[in-house]
Amino acid sequence: MVQIDVEKTLSELDLSEKTALTAGADFWHTVPIPRLNIPAVRFSDGPNGVRGTRFFNGVPAACLPCSTALGSTWDVELLEQIGELLGDEARAKGTHVLLGPTINIQRSPLGGRGFESFAEDGVLSGTLAGYYCKGVESKGVGATLKHFVCNDQEHERLAVDTIVTARALREIYLLPFQLALRICKTACFMTAYNKVNGVHVSESRNILEDILRKEWKWNGLIMSDWFGTYSTADAVNAGLDLEMPGPTLWRGEILTHAVKSRKVPDHVLDERVRNLLNLINYADKSGIPENAGEKELNRPDDQKLLRRAAAESIVLLRNNNSVLPFDKNKPIAVIGPNSKVASYCGGGSASLPPYYAVTPFEGVSKASKADIAFAQGTYAHQSLPPLGPHLKTNDGKQGFDFKVYNESPEEKDRKVVDRLHLVNSTGFLADYKNTEVKSDLFYADMEGNFTPEEDGLYDFGVTVIGTGKLFVDGELVVDNFTKQRKGSAFFGAATAEERGSRLLKAGISYKILVQFGSRPTSKLNDTRVVNFGPGGFAFGVSRRRELAESIEEAVDLASKTEQVLVVAGLNGEWETEGHDRETMDLPPGTDKLISRVLDANPNAAIVIQSGTPVTMPWASKVNVLAQAWFGGNELGNGLADVLYGDVNPSGKLSLSFPVRLQDNPSYLNFGSERGRVLYGEDVYVGYRYYEKTGVQPLFPFGYGLSYTTFERSNLSLDVASEKDTLEDGEIVTASIMVKNTGSLAGAEVVQLWVENPATTGIRRPVRELKGFKKVFLQPGEKKDVKITVEKKLATSFWDEIRQSWASEKGEYKVLITGTGQETLSAPFAVEKTRYWVGL
């Protein structure tokens, strides 16, 4: 790659080349123009790891805790280090631009991609995102703020019209993007799928041009979300530089015609191309070669960082009687559906194959010095767990053979045209290619040997974009060929899982054969907007258990063991891109299991894994409760570190946990109705609603316990004198003494809130988070902590009449909170009302 003279190159490009540059070449690359030495730039999915260029059989990667977990660390230094790790991972994958972070707002616990965003609050989300991006870009890799803006649900996400007031748009939904840019001017933005007030964001001149480029003075590249371009002239004229992915649907010859007919002015097309050429120059400075090979890192220091992130994200919600930390020298019973399953990330484009993933059971087993017992209790899966890792090839390797044919199984003397060794039995073939495969119509046989550990009735399942059959020792057990039903897997493109069962004996090897036909063989009526290529497959297995009997086994074990750990929750099936959750409930049977175990042992530690809140009908009787999220590669080790006290928990909730779904402010206004969603809660999202209405959440935003205690004292404010106009740098500095008054080292998160004046001008939240700082203290140690906030950001609301921010005259109050109930306060005044716009 080489630095381009942008203006000279613009003058040398012909019209067809210019239009070609404004769309992707394929799923991950821009179009190269070899005659002018214009290389391709490579993108890759984040936000919680760098996938590389392959959905199917990709190179494994470091997988971070999900973003709500990272949000719960409240740690800007950690987020910058996480960004640096992602930058290194991107370089290893030959990636010039990372497609993350996601900084949408969690309006509702039901949002399918809620786990991808940091917080329900723009200050926390935007600040953490800014440092995340700073870390990524320190490695020469571009970061992408997404999805700009109001992409807060999955239901009809390509079509839904978000109806939102200008005030809520500014104060809640645009704010995290605005604050992130104050810390790091990212290389890229990605537009949201949805409309905002009647216009798709990728066609919104107001949002892309007026706000992002003119008001915020940002000059990077704006790309569409994948398949999130819906027009030619409207999108180009609005400021959308790049349509992704390729090959183009809306540009190319269509855009050439639009330019020739003056639907798109020449200078506007030049501006789109100029931004792409500037991104190419940015990518060139990274030194990452064009079309670079992909490799693994998996370095020891990275593993330590991921373990630290997993542990620091865990939020201790209850610890009555100081049951935790556990004693490593005492036996422990580990119970529950998530114990021996690594729920390391949510589903959809955020998912990726990890280098490894440590289950909670594995983490506790490594840490404990005493006996460990296990009981399943219930399952948490929707579709059956992957069979692939439990298979062996004929030569003894973990996994199975994947053999591809151009002919169907009915044809004799078929020729194998491709052969792979796979372990993962979930294969999304969107980017599968082989020169011997003649078209999207092909067939694959997947073969391996399964040796069960227990006697019993085993359920097998097959899900496909295409068709599939599963055989056990030559007997057809699952038929997803003859009759097919619509399902939600693979972004909503797949069939429902079809199942069959077979009695199996422990220790006996059974030959498994899955016959797959690619997408053109499907019998489903395909009405989707997006075509994901040749299809996909998933096949799984689970030993059938009678729920009542399995729960009784768990209860019996809990009653006989002093130290009991229950790990339950959701996974990437329940929380995933493509569809929203229908309820906040845990998987069937889970609440009954937890309640019965607590009856048998009230001091059992309940650990929930989810990216967003779940209902907890047993909350009144739980003594020990922690939120562990989707914890990445090191989730099991990080959890064990906290349970045994090697790490003192310091996480604080990044979003409010309501008692029930009906308590959430978006309850009546979530999901598309006739193509639109009304953001009826306005600015009262999350804690702003609960505090304004007096509705008590189960656990509030910013809440979290520690194994030690802290004291906050001596609050003082230094308030800059006001000028005639509001300028950057007019600040309020809060100074606080923080002391660790307990017997264990630990970290405190000091939270600075501003209580708004009781004015008659406009209704406002009771208080709003405006700053925070995390500080680590040894037992007895005390430190002076300073938190600085800009007065204009700390006091302003969006004035819809003036179309500007308004810092209104009045008496404000700084509130300081942290671990425990203690709140410090100090007043400050805004002497005169002033208005401002900009970043």
3 state DSSP class of 429: helix
Give the C-alpha separation, 326 to 342, whole Å.
Answer: 22
Pick the catalytic residue from 45, 225, 401, 641.
225
Give the C-alpha separation, 783 to 364, whole Å.
Answer: 34
Secondary structure letter of residue 563 according to DSSP? E
Question: Is 682 an annotated catalytic residue?
Answer: no
Give the C-alpha separation, 538 to 443, whole Å.
Answer: 15
What distance separates the 2 farthest-apart alpha carbons in the chain?
A: 88
Contact (Cβ atoms closer than 8 angstroms) between residue 129 and residue 180: yes
Contact (Cβ atoms closer than 8 angstroms) between residue 789 and residue 732: yes
**R_g (Cα) of the chain, nearest Å:** 27
Close Cβ partners of 454 (under 8 Å, ≥ 6 residues apart): 506, 543
Instruction: Specify the residue for token string 């329900």.
Output: 120
Locate all alpha helices (DSSP H) within 63-202, ordered by sequence.
Answer: 67-71, 76-92, 122-137, 166-168, 175-183
Contact (Cβ atoms closer than 8 angstroms) between residue 561 and residue 470: no
Among 822, 696, 811, 706, which Cα is nearest to 312's? 706
End-to-end CA distance of the chain: 33
Q: Half-sphere exposure of residue 679, counting CA atoms within 13 Å on the CB side? A: 27
Contact (Cβ atoms closer than 8 angstroms) between residue 251 and residue 22: yes
Contact (Cβ atoms closer than 8 angstroms) between residue 344 and residue 630: yes
Three-state SS string over 805-829 comes to EEECCEEEEEEEECCCCCCEEEEEE
Give the C-alpha separation, 336 to 277, whole Å.
Answer: 53
Give the C-alpha separation, 304 to 364, whole Å.
Answer: 17
* Torsion sign across C-alpha atoms 585, 590, 594, 595: positive
Contact (Cβ atoms closer than 8 angstroms) between residue 662 and residue 146: no
- Residue 646: count of CB within 10 angstroms of its CB: 14
Give the C-alpha separation, 191 to 364, whole Å.
Answer: 42
- Buried (b) or exposed (e) across 675-710, using 16+ Cβ within 10 A? ebbebbbbbbbbbbbbbbeeeebbbbbbbbbbbbbb
Helix (H) or strand (E) holding 635: helix 635-643
Cis? peptide before 101, omega within 30° of 0: yes
Structure tokens at 693: 């209405």
* φ, ψ (nearest 5 deg) of residue 383: -90, 160
Strands 161-163 and 676-678: parallel
Give the C-alpha separation, 12 to 801, whole Å.
Answer: 47
Positions annotated as catalytic residues are 225
